[in-house]
Structure 1
Amino acid sequence: MAAGSGSRGQGRGVCVKLLCVWSVCSALTAAYLLYLPLPGTISEPLKLMIVAAAFRGVSSLGDMGQSLGVVHHIRLINSAITGFESLVPLDYEEVQVEDLEFSGVQVRLYQPGTDAQPGLRRAVVFIHGGGWSLGVPKVGSYDLLCRKMAVKLNAVVVTVDYRMAPDVRFPAQFEECLQASRFFLQPEVLQRYSVDPQRVAVCGDSAGGNLAAAVAQQIGKDNSTAEKFKLQVLIYPVLQPLDFNTASYQQNQRIPILYRELMAHYWLEYLGADPDLIHSLLLNNHTARDQKLLEPHRAKIDWTKMIPKDKKKEYKPVVPSKGSPGILQQVPALLDVRAAPLLADLEVLKFAPRAYIMTGEHDVLRDDGLMYTHRLQQAGVSVTNHHYEGGFHGCVSFAFWPSYFDVGIRAVDDYIAWLQEHL
């Protein structure tokens, strides 16, 4: 054999070995990215691992882009979400859609098609989630969800396309949702769209649930607003930034797609606070026993007295004796009921509309919803808490192709059925 052919043979052998090593490394990397130790009771864990891996990958790219000074990580993540949501096929095409401004706020209004039932209709104001910084309400799953509500409920649906962080911070998101809601609730506007003023609901998921609850409180107590919301639907709402060690935060801190540290990060982004405060928040240093500003609110976040025993399990409260002085003064919005609706007094809550609160067992925000259920009931408000043992945060957004989750489909159908019965 010629020397050249021998060298080529050795070269091919090296290439094959390198290819094998690369393949093994790639497989191990994929397995590492995909694998998460998930509870056996969570809905479709393998599928959730894949979704979580994709989200972690995009988040890592966003962090890298920001560290290099190329792009704010939220903008990159939103671009990826928009691309993914564009894959969701359009359905309920018979719905009439208009992009409008309500009191200077961008909204999209959905009306049933020409075959809809005549007469006055129900209406739903829908506020999307995404940590007050993510989400594309006019594309994909949110758009399809609003179309489905319009058809199934024979309702006018208004989705509020509020501005988000980092472009604006609290209270801008709240104020825009409040402005749009007040505008829509005007008698002449309801009449224009053939809406029964006694049959209007406000609905939101996650951070949208936060905004929906805060808006419902404000309108409930506001004597200048003639028409009120009849109902509120809060889908795994985030309602307080004072205890990041509730039983559900401890239990689900590493469960996708909303991790405990990520939720604290969203709060700091929303409130325009120093991101370096995240470690103090996770330790509950801002709500230690020596933080006197918190005293009027301690009972409102005492989950040991407000959630069922089977949810508390073996978890214990985390209340340091000494904390980080100055955080509550530095970030006063942490105690603002417009940001944290759970902190509202009973005198305010008693004017809130009847509520449907969805919670998921494997969600860091589960206890926020359970505590709010308890406090609304204390104020005499009727509440339906629909709890999903297999539920995880964000599952309602995965009720449509290409990311079907059974628990998401059921959750959407269940709350629409509740609105069908009560609105």
Structure 2
Amino acid sequence: MASSAPAPHVVEDCGPNLQLLSDGTVIRLADYNILPLPVLPPALSAAVQWKDVVYDAGSGLKLRVYRPPRAVIGEKLPVLVYFHGGGYAIGSFEMENFHACCLRFAYELPAVVLSADYRLAPEHRLPAAHDDAASVMSWVRDQAVAVGDGAGDPWLAESAHFGRVFVSGDSAGGGIVHQVAVRLGSGLLVVDPVRVAGCVPLFPYFGGEERSRSEAEYPPGPYLTLPLSDQGWRLALPPGATRDHPLCNPFGPESPALDAVALPPLLVVVSQLDLLRDRGVDYVERLRAMGKTAELVEFEGQHHGFFYIEPFGDAGDELVRVVKRFVYGGASSKPI
């Protein structure tokens, strides 16, 4: 007897990225990068070495290690752990735009950059991405221990200063940075002998049921609209959760208090024309009111994600300078 059950239908249509069907099936489109592709300066591409390594064999998750010329000749450099954006649902360290950003950071800070993938929603809803980020940090810890024992990845053994590790990421990656900082500061994530000297969320992807002024009043950006932001949270959060869920709203009604959490120093970057601008500003103001070390840098005339949209523009040049200042002089001398 033929089944009378209705055929699966689309419940979330993410345009060129993916579709979620009513039976839970996810259809991912192969060519989903709608961003303008960056043109890499030949000298930059030739100067920085990079390779992919597995950090979680069970999940098949990888990260990309970038090593600039100064590291090749034996200079120990800070480590920048980086998490890409994409609303927790799309993206990869392999995307040309994120690759270009990490090449710049590696060469111009300079730093050893570790750009990590993580499991994506809706197949793997939060906190899967945050758990994977914790696994990345644990992998870094294991590498530091192995290097101390005369082993470990040879690039990191030769080049990485594990006492000067920074955690950064853009958009959803910026939200991941917050979660890493909270786990570190609350003792849920222990990375000794690694020392995290600072965290750098770039235009972090936060949300909430009550609209911020920028969400309510700003026109949509070229790559982020309010409906798209809301859709991202519907795909990423546990089923039935609202945007006040603690993994979306760090100061929601059910979010844990951060007063007693020993957060690393933070540098938070926001964009003036970003729908999410006010959430980043509020984040810094609330942390400062608790006595945390949090610096805010706002880029006038820029929209959400301007760095990975145009990695080699004037604003991108200034962002690299801002992060370099933080890494080499602005972070606290009391890392955790």
With normalisation by structure 1, the TM-score equals 0.63
| Residue aligning to 1:110 | 66
Confirm or deny that 1:79 pairs with 2:43: no
- State the Cα distance separating 1:221 from its structure 2 match: 1.7
| Higher helix residue share | 1
Distance 2:259 2:92 in 1: 35
| Residue aligning to 1:208 | 173
Distance 2:86 2:305 in 1: 9
Confirm or deny that 1:262 pairs with 2:228: yes
Post-superposition Cα deviations, 1:21-73, rounded to whole Å, max 9, x if no partner, equal xxxxxxxxxxxxxxxxxxxxxxxxxxxxxxxxxxxxx965568x879x9x957
| Residue aligning to 1:351 | 262
TM alignment of 1:210-249, pairs within 5 A? 210-222=175-187, 224-226=190-192, 227-243=194-210, 245-249=211-215
Identify if the C-alpha distance between structure 1 residues 181 and 340 changes in structure 2 by more than 3 Å, giving closer, same or farther: farther
| Residue aligning to 1:411 | 319
Post-superposition Cα deviations, 1:146-171, rounded to whole Å, max 9, x if no partner, equal 12212223321111111212332111
| Residue aligning to 1:181 | 137
Distance 1:415 1:217 in 2: 21
Identify if the C-alpha distance between structure 1 residues 140 and 169 changes in structure 2 by more than 3 Å, giving closer, same or farther: same
Identify if the C-alpha distance between structure 1 residues 61 and 398 changes in structure 2 by more than 3 Å, giving closer, same or farther: closer
Identify if the C-alpha distance between structure 1 residues 240 and 82 changes in structure 2 by more than 3 Å, giving closer, same or farther: closer
| Residue aligning to 1:156 | 112
Distance 2:307 2:83 in 1: 13
Distance 1:238 1:83 in 2: 18
Distance 1:367 1:333 in 2: 16
- State the Cα distance separating 1:113 from its structure 2 match: 3.2
Identify if the C-alpha distance between structure 1 residues 407 and 150 changes in structure 2 by more than 3 Å, giving closer, same or farther: closer
Q: Which amino acid aligns with 1:258?
A: L
| Residue aligning to 1:96 | 49
Identify if the C-alpha distance between structure 1 residues 118 and 66 changes in structure 2 by more than 3 Å, giving closer, same or farther: closer
Identify if the C-alpha distance between structure 1 residues 82 and 183 changes in structure 2 by more than 3 Å, giving closer, same or farther: farther
Q: Which amino acid aligns with 1:140?
A: E
Distance 1:248 1:158 in 2: 33
- State the Cα distance separating 1:133 from its structure 2 match: 1.2
Q: Which segments of 5 or more consecutive residues in structure 1 lack a partner in the other structure?
A: 1-57, 274-329
Distance 1:334 1:247 in 2: 17
Structure 2 counterpart of 1:331, from 228, 236, 241:
241
Distance 2:237 2:147 in 1: 33
Do the aligned residues in 1 keep the contact of 2:215 with 2:275 (CA within 8 Å)? Answer: yes
Do the aligned residues in 2 keep the contact of 1:183 with 1:189 (CA within 8 Å)? Answer: no
| Residue aligning to 2:100 | 144
Post-superposition Cα deviations, 1:274-305, rounded to whole Å, max 9, x if no partner, equal xxxxxxxxxxxxxxxxxxxxxxxxxxxxxxxx
Identify if the C-alpha distance between structure 1 residues 66 and 124 changes in structure 2 by more than 3 Å, giving closer, same or farther: closer
Identify if the C-alpha distance between structure 1 residues 341 and 215 changes in structure 2 by more than 3 Å, giving closer, same or farther: farther
Identify if the C-alpha distance between structure 1 residues 202 and 190 changes in structure 2 by more than 3 Å, giving closer, same or farther: farther
Do the aligned residues in 2 keep the contact of 1:170 with 1:272 (CA within 8 Å)? Answer: yes
| Residue aligning to 2:3 | none
Q: Which segments of 5 or more consecutive residues in structure 2 lack a partner in the other structure?
A: 1-12, 332-336
Do the aligned residues in 2 keep the contact of 1:190 with 1:196 (CA within 8 Å)? Answer: no
- State the Cα distance separating 1:364 from its structure 2 match: 1.1
Identify if the C-alpha distance between structure 1 residues 251 and 412 changes in structure 2 by more than 3 Å, giving closer, same or farther: farther
- State the Cα distance separating 1:210 from its structure 2 match: 0.1
| Residue aligning to 1:341 | 250
With normalisation by structure 2, the TM-score equals 0.78
Identify if the C-alpha distance between structure 1 residues 382 and 219 changes in structure 2 by more than 3 Å, giving closer, same or farther: same
SS class of match (2:295):
strand
- State the Cα distance separating 1:117 from its structure 2 match: 5.3
- State the Cα distance separating 1:242 from its structure 2 match: 3.1
| Residue aligning to 1:288 | none
Return 250-259 or 88-97, whichever deviates more: 88-97
Do the aligned residues in 1 keep the contact of 2:63 with 2:93 (CA within 8 Å)? Answer: no
Q: Which amino acid aligns with 1:331?
A: A
Do the aligned residues in 1 keep the contact of 2:233 with 2:248 (CA within 8 Å)? Answer: no
Distance 1:202 1:395 in 2: 19
- State the Cα distance separating 1:414 from its structure 2 match: 2.6
Q: Which amino acid aligns with 1:418?
A: F
Q: Percent identity?
A: 23
- State the Cα distance separating 1:334 from its structure 2 match: 4.2
Q: Number of residue pairs matched?
A: 300
Greater gyration radius: 1
Identify if the C-alpha distance between structure 1 residues 59 and 268 changes in structure 2 by more than 3 Å, giving closer, same or farther: closer
| Residue aligning to 1:367 | 278
Do the aligned residues in 1 keep the contact of 2:112 with 2:160 (CA within 8 Å)? Answer: yes
Confirm or deny that 1:381 pairs with 2:292: yes
Do the aligned residues in 1 keep the contact of 2:175 with 2:204 (CA within 8 Å)? Answer: yes
Post-superposition Cα deviations, 1:124-149, rounded to whole Å, max 9, x if no partner, equal 10000010012231231211211221
Q: Which amino acid aligns with 1:124?
A: L
| Higher strand residue share | 2
- State the Cα distance separating 1:180 from its structure 2 match: 0.8
- State the Cα distance separating 1:82 from its structure 2 match: 7.6
